[in-house]
Structure 1
Amino acid sequence: MSGHSQFALLRQRRFLPFFIVQSLGAFNDNVYRQAIIGLLYYLSVPKEELTLYTTLAPAIFILPYFLFSALAGQIAEKLEKSRLIVITTTMEIVIMTLAAAGFLTQNMTLLLIALFCTGLQSTLFGPVKYSVLPSILKPEELTGGNGLVEMGTSMSILTGMIVGGLIFTLAGSHGPIVAATAVIALAVLGNVCARMIPKVDAGAPELKINWNPLPESLAVLRMAKKQKAVRNAILGVSWFWFVGTLLTSQLPTYAITNLGGEPTLYIFALALFSIGTGVGSLLCEKLSGRTVEIGLVPLGAFGMTAFLLDLYFARAGEATAQGLSVVAFVQQAGSIRIIIDLLGIGLFTGFFVVPLFALIQSRTPKSEMSRVFAALNIQNSGFIVAAAGVGLAAHAAGVTIPQLFLGLAIANALVAIYIFTIVPEFLMRFLSWLMVRALYRLRPHGIEASVPDEGAALIVCNHVSYLDALILSASIPRPVRFVMYYRIFNIPVMSWIFRTAKTIPIAGAKEDRALMLRAFDEIDAALAEGELVCIFPEGALTRDGQMGAFKSGVDKILERRPVPVVPMALRGMWTSMWSRRDSRLGRMRVPRRFRATIEVVAAPAVEGSAASAERLEAQVRALRGDHA
């Protein structure tokens, strides 16, 4: 894992054609929308008419998301996904042919009809875009794959806006021809790439489609709320769209009024935000250790708030200079701070949204995935409209753009606190992620190949320190239910983390027989639900760095439910902090091996019917070797 790069996915057929198709789609949408605005300037339409069109266009584009997302989710669930992607990209060719006719005849009505159809095509593609990833990626690749998709989308939107905006500026009288040719060529290229996507099975081929949009929209929204973590992840993604829409919609005026720039400075400011988002999206895999690490979500939320606050204080009033080019702006006092703020907002936005997409994909049944993402699109469109409304209301009330950024920072903090209060797992994962990354250099080996992608399994591991469970949870790409000695489970502060992670406390038969029996019942119930359960069969922390004998508890678990067993070993923990190598007083001092390199090593799973405490102990000893 240490040598893995998410960019390796770009060399694989299972991912590359899909990545190109979704990036080209976002690019072409924005080329088309900006080219319409360019045509309006080319035709020198009156300012009032220009304002009408620029206000009407986003509403026309987003209307199909309200009307047809539920239908799109059902279709994406029922049809084989690569076939559906070919169908939607074929639709794009037809729609862009209509748009080309609008450019050539300079007919705004025709262009707006094509814009509505583009929104419809995007509505149909939306549920496929994210529901296809869990089918073509391994669980440990979800964060990296989503990071690439978000990076590709943000950069495609940015470059599409730039290219679309420059068509009529550079081509002049040939602008309509260039615009018409560009949108058709991009649509054809997308369709060619779509035909290279490997077959991806339908999530629910037997699904009967309900063609009535209103009750089905309510049905998919209810479906998306069944699991609390997924429901609040969807809320988080929609909030991301609210923040992004409100922020980027203010940048054109902000660049001129508050930064003192000419119109091109808006593109520079948008580029900073988009680049930051792309970089943050790509960094998620590195920071998460290739697991679905929702601990990054609070980090992203708090970072967004911090940089939004600083953006307000960096330039709270109007600029003293006007008409600045990008170069002239960069040379102004205080400009570097604003640049860093815009990059920082984008960077932490990437940290915020990518794990949320990965969580939705990892915790939603494949037979419901497309409909859940259809519900997400409905909710997203509502938040986008709300963001536009807030921007207009703030402007009408005389609120300045920096004041609006200040209000957005405060609102972002309140929404984050609300989500983390409702689903403590987000904050728990953040604290455990922060602790493990701050205290250790973690090196996992063999975990991807050994831990099953789905279904029940029992994990057995040696027990060295008080943080073993946190270290394993940071290494394993799926959520894990840990069985833990009750005295460790009850450690102050740590207890909250363990409870939130649904850890199962256990005691010896002589200490608390009722607790022990209850623990075995909980373990069996978790395995029956297809979950991963991890136990430390030694029954206690090592006192001398050596492994103890595995107790019979593992045999009792497998007698009731013979699930696959994955042997794992912790290496390097004994001489690091929080083992029993030091006295309690010694552990209170700055440890001698702060940021120690530790390893988690896994062996292939053993069939439960063939596993025994003695055999598993021998395997874990072999994995551990001489690395105490």
Structure 2
Amino acid sequence: MSNQFSLLHQRRFAPFFWTQFCGAANDNLFKFAFTVLVTYQLQLSWLPPELAGLAIGAVFILPFILLSATSGQLADKYEKAALMRGVKWLELAIMVAAAWGFQAAHAPLLLACVFLMGLHSTLFGPVKYAYLPQHLNERELTGGNGLVEMGTFVAILLGNVAGGLLVAMPGMGRGSVGAACLGLAVLGLVASYRIPRSEPVDPHLEIRLNPFTETWRNLQLAHEQIVVFRSVLGISWMWFFGAVFLSQFPAFAKEVLHGDAGVASLLLATFSVGVAAGALMCEALSRRHVEIGLVPLGAIGMTVFAVDLYLVSSALPPSAGAWSPASFLTQWAHWRVLVDLAGVSLCAGLYSVPMYALIQLRSKPTHRARIVAANNILNALFIIASALACAGLLAAGVSIPGVFLAVAIANAVVAVYIFLLVPEYLLRFVAWVLTHLVYRFRIDGEDRIPVAGPALLVCNHVSFVDAIVLMAASPRPITFIMDHRIFRTPVLGRLFRLARAIPIAPRREDPCVYDAAFERAADALSQGELVAIFPEGAITRDGELQPFRPGVVKILERASVRGVHPPVIPMALVNLWGSYFSRVEQRGGRPAAMVRPFRRGIFNPIRLRVGTPVEQHAAEPALLQSQVADLLAGAGA
């Protein structure tokens, strides 16, 4: 399959991408130009220069708090392309007024336009993120979100740079800003007319205007699926974390790095490019699936690079004068600052994109835009909390590097808290590490693993990490039926308990556990989940496929009683036998696992072969065993 950039040539994505890109660029060009105008050119008693950026940011974010709930309802009720065109017409009208405001240096009008552009972004946000899952499939969703995230931060960067340069032009700066804002609004409007139609997901929804009750209702909708709700909180925390850095760049550049305004712009550029790069990397690192295993990786990186940024910036020697960008780059310590900043932002991209994609994928389609709206409200509140926290720390005498250290430590605490509450993140991370850093993992026939609906997966059993490898292959959570003795393994047993795996024991040993396992498996299938079983009943001791037991038939029979008839999908793990996690013959002829870690070196190639689904009525143990044997031999893959 082609990569994410091919979406930029397709009508279902490209017009939407450029519409949102122009809107984000216009927001930032207008806001930054107005901030520079107030700071350097106008003398306003009611808006002093030192408060200009804070006041403009607060006015811009106010509509997100007041009107996000209503915008989410509109996006669920009405056709999205028409809504986006309406928002773009609103933007054009705002920019006509803003152009006149710049020309006349009319600050109150420009401040009103800031509020209206915040309204424009508030209306567009839920439509933007609810549009993607209606036009992209599961394997395109991560790449599409990565492009949108990349486009947003590139637009922020270009908008800020252009706004600062244009407004400073002698004699024609204010007129140039107005013309640029109008031009971007027109380009966005033209692009919006190419966006394809998206059917309304809840056309009979009754619009309720009370923002407080609707915000609470939207949060309750998100809380119905705990993974979605925790992802909303995780994204909001990312905005808290990022806002700390973005808000401190000017002061950090001046007071700590001893640089001029150009160095502050260099920091912003580094941060924006880092987020864009991290967002684009998500597709390749996730094998084109929604891979939330990248979230812990991003969280770890955010903390590690932020701590190192504190260490290097706290040890910088004093400077006799202000560094220009060119002279700033002649110092190796300054390069370390930029590398740390790029690492923080790149990891923030790895952290956020899978969460956005997860929210889109697992939210109910009829509620998706309202959940996105709830996310936007929480984002705004967390950004405000970030500003208050920074102000409090600085007022208490904490240095700017100390603020970075504090937020790095807080990020580690928040990450651990979220991952313990929702262990799926941690499990997917372990699976990602295992299949990227321990083994070289390849999947044949991965399109046969269903992205929706119930299915029963059957696979050969060769090691203690078979379940984790299968977990890495599936875009969805899998409920595993596993030998109860595996749960006694110190680390893996804890992970499998977190994954809510179903223990099974031989009937003669514990008939209650035996029967309960099949009941729980049938319940999971009736709820539309993936269930996996290793029909051999135990890990092979010699690497050969063992006879399949009748557990598959028992599960299917009990699922049929519940009115569920899932397909059975045969799978074969290849080349995992003989690795560290499998049993091999030791001295004395005793099979053992997890001894001599590097007996096969590192990055061993392993493979999962996925066979053709078998209908329930034909899923006999002998047939399934034969199909898995064929997959092991290389046939049927």
- TM-score with structure 1 setting the length: 0.94
CA contact (8 A) 1:566 1:603 kept: yes
Q: State how far apart, in whole Å, the 2-side matches of 1:467 and 1:607 are.
A: 28
Using the TM superposition, give the Cα deviation of residue 377 of structure 1 relative to its aligned residue in structure 2, in angstroms. 0.8
Q: State how far apart, in whole Å, the 2-side matches of 1:46 and 1:253 are.
A: 23
CA contact (8 A) 1:150 1:354 kept: yes
Q: Name 1:621's counterpart in structure 2.
A: 629
Does residue 605 of the first structure (1) align with residue 613 of the second (2)? yes
Q: Secondary structure at the match of 1:173?
A: coil
Does residue 588 of the first structure (1) align with residue 595 of the second (2)? yes
Q: Name 1:114's counterpart in structure 2.
A: 113
CA contact (8 A) 1:571 1:599 kept: yes
Q: Name 1:73's counterpart in structure 2.
A: 72
Q: State how far apart, in whole Å, the 2-side matches of 1:235 and 1:619 are.
A: 44
CA contact (8 A) 2:576 2:606 kept: yes
Q: Name 1:458's counterpart in structure 2.
A: 456
- The change in CA–CA distance for 1:196 and 1:445 in structure 2 (over 3 A counts) is farther
Q: Name 1:30's counterpart in structure 2.
A: 28
CA contact (8 A) 1:27 1:157 kept: yes
- The change in CA–CA distance for 1:410 and 1:577 in structure 2 (over 3 A counts) is closer
1:138-182 Cα distance to aligned partner (Å, 9 max, x none): 22332222222212211111111111111122x322222221221
- Letter of the 1:570 counterpart: L
1:438-473 Cα distance to aligned partner (Å, 9 max, x none): 2210111221x2122211111222222221111111
Using the TM superposition, give the Cα deviation of residue 318 of structure 1 relative to its aligned residue in structure 2, in angstroms. 7.5
Q: State how far apart, in whole Å, the 2-side matches of 1:26 and 1:321 are.
A: 39
Using the TM superposition, give the Cα deviation of residue 79 of structure 1 relative to its aligned residue in structure 2, in angstroms. 1.3
Q: Secondary structure at the match of 1:508?
A: coil
- Letter of the 2:106 counterpart: N
CA contact (8 A) 2:434 2:469 kept: no
Q: Secondary structure at the match of 2:510?
A: helix
Q: Name 1:51's counterpart in structure 2.
A: 50
Alignment of 1:390-429 (within 5 A): 390-429=389-428
Does residue 248 of the first structure (1) align with residue 251 of the second (2)? no
Alignment of 1:429-578 (within 5 A): 429-447=428-446, 449-559=447-557, 560=560, 561-578=564-581
CA contact (8 A) 1:505 1:519 kept: yes
1:160-215 Cα distance to aligned partner (Å, 9 max, x none): 1111111122x322222221221122112112222222222223222111122221
- 1:279 alignment partner, one of 273, 277, 280: 277
CA contact (8 A) 1:290 1:477 kept: no
Q: Name 2:194's counterpart in structure 1.
A: 196
Q: Secondary structure at the match of 1:285?
A: helix
Using the TM superposition, give the Cα deviation of residue 304 of structure 1 relative to its aligned residue in structure 2, in angstroms. 1.3
CA contact (8 A) 1:307 1:344 kept: yes
CA contact (8 A) 1:138 1:453 kept: no
Does residue 97 of the first structure (1) align with residue 96 of the second (2)? yes
Q: State how far apart, in whole Å, the 2-side matches of 1:593 and 1:307 are.
A: 30
Using the TM superposition, give the Cα deviation of residue 506 of structure 1 relative to its aligned residue in structure 2, in angstroms. 1.6
Does residue 9 of the first structure (1) align with residue 37 of the second (2)? no
- The change in CA–CA distance for 1:275 and 1:424 in structure 2 (over 3 A counts) is same
Q: State how far apart, in whole Å, the 2-side matches of 1:19 and 1:515 are.
A: 53
Using the TM superposition, give the Cα deviation of residue 27 of structure 1 relative to its aligned residue in structure 2, in angstroms. 1.1
- Letter of the 1:80 counterpart: E
Q: State how far apart, in whole Å, the 2-side matches of 1:272 and 1:387 are.
A: 21
Q: State how far apart, in whole Å, the 2-side matches of 1:186 and 1:562 are.
A: 53
Using the TM superposition, give the Cα deviation of residue 67 of structure 1 relative to its aligned residue in structure 2, in angstroms. 0.6
Using the TM superposition, give the Cα deviation of residue 42 of structure 1 relative to its aligned residue in structure 2, in angstroms. 6.3
CA contact (8 A) 1:151 1:277 kept: yes
Q: Secondary structure at the match of 2:241?
A: helix
CA contact (8 A) 1:507 1:513 kept: yes
1:392-432 Cα distance to aligned partner (Å, 9 max, x none): 33333333211211222222222222222322332233233
- Letter of the 1:264 counterpart: G
CA contact (8 A) 2:29 2:160 kept: yes
CA contact (8 A) 2:584 2:592 kept: no
Using the TM superposition, give the Cα deviation of residue 586 of structure 1 relative to its aligned residue in structure 2, in angstroms. 7.0
1:257-282 Cα distance to aligned partner (Å, 9 max, x none): 11111111101011111111111222
Aligned residues: 624
Q: State how far apart, in whole Å, the 2-side matches of 1:241 and 1:325 are.
A: 29
Alignment of 1:322-333 (within 5 A): 322-333=321-332
Q: Secondary structure at the match of 1:205?
A: coil
Using the TM superposition, give the Cα deviation of residue 582 of structure 1 relative to its aligned residue in structure 2, in angstroms. 4.1
- Letter of the 2:23 counterpart: G
Q: Name 1:386's counterpart in structure 2.
A: 385
CA contact (8 A) 1:576 1:593 kept: no
- The change in CA–CA distance for 1:582 and 1:626 in structure 2 (over 3 A counts) is farther
- Letter of the 1:203 counterpart: V
Q: Name 1:209's counterpart in structure 2.
A: 207
Q: Name 1:153's counterpart in structure 2.
A: 152
Q: Secondary structure at the match of 2:531?
A: strand
Does residue 579 of the first structure (1) align with residue 582 of the second (2)? yes
Give identity over the alignment, percent.
Answer: 45
Q: Secondary structure at the match of 2:508?
A: helix
1:19-56 Cα distance to aligned partner (Å, 9 max, x none): 22222221111111112123335634369632343332
Q: State how far apart, in whole Å, the 1-side matches of 2:332 and 2:39 are.
A: 34
- The change in CA–CA distance for 1:343 and 1:226 in structure 2 (over 3 A counts) is same
CA contact (8 A) 1:450 1:605 kept: yes
Question: More deviation in 134-143 or 58-67?
Answer: 134-143
CA contact (8 A) 2:295 2:355 kept: yes
Q: Name 2:363's counterpart in structure 1.
A: 364
Using the TM superposition, give the Cα deviation of residue 585 of structure 1 relative to its aligned residue in structure 2, in angstroms. 5.5
- The change in CA–CA distance for 1:413 and 1:210 in structure 2 (over 3 A counts) is same
1:222-264 Cα distance to aligned partner (Å, 9 max, x none): 2222332222211111111111111111100111111111111
- Letter of the 2:595 counterpart: M
Q: State how far apart, in whole Å, the 1-side matches of 2:579 and 2:602 are.
A: 7
- The change in CA–CA distance for 1:593 and 1:8 in structure 2 (over 3 A counts) is farther
Q: Secondary structure at the match of 2:500?
A: coil
- The change in CA–CA distance for 1:446 and 1:196 in structure 2 (over 3 A counts) is farther
Using the TM superposition, give the Cα deviation of residue 362 of structure 1 relative to its aligned residue in structure 2, in angstroms. 2.5
Unaligned runs of 5+ in 1: none
Q: State how far apart, in whole Å, the 1-side matches of 2:229 and 2:585 are.
A: 44
Using the TM superposition, give the Cα deviation of residue 523 of structure 1 relative to its aligned residue in structure 2, in angstroms. 0.7
Q: State how far apart, in whole Å, the 1-side matches of 2:163 and 2:411 are.
A: 32
- The change in CA–CA distance for 1:593 and 1:55 in structure 2 (over 3 A counts) is closer
CA contact (8 A) 1:394 1:404 kept: yes
1:60-114 Cα distance to aligned partner (Å, 9 max, x none): 1001011101111111111122222222222212222221221222211211111
Q: State how far apart, in whole Å, the 1-side matches of 2:502 and 2:401 are.
A: 49
Q: Secondary structure at the match of 2:170?
A: helix
CA contact (8 A) 1:258 1:318 kept: no
Q: State how far apart, in whole Å, the 2-side matches of 1:611 and 1:97 are.
A: 67
Q: State how far apart, in whole Å, the 2-side matches of 1:78 and 1:100 are.
A: 33
CA contact (8 A) 1:133 1:142 kept: yes
Q: State how far apart, in whole Å, the 2-side matches of 1:121 and 1:201 are.
A: 22
- The change in CA–CA distance for 1:523 and 1:356 in structure 2 (over 3 A counts) is same
CA contact (8 A) 2:525 2:531 kept: yes
CA contact (8 A) 1:257 1:319 kept: no
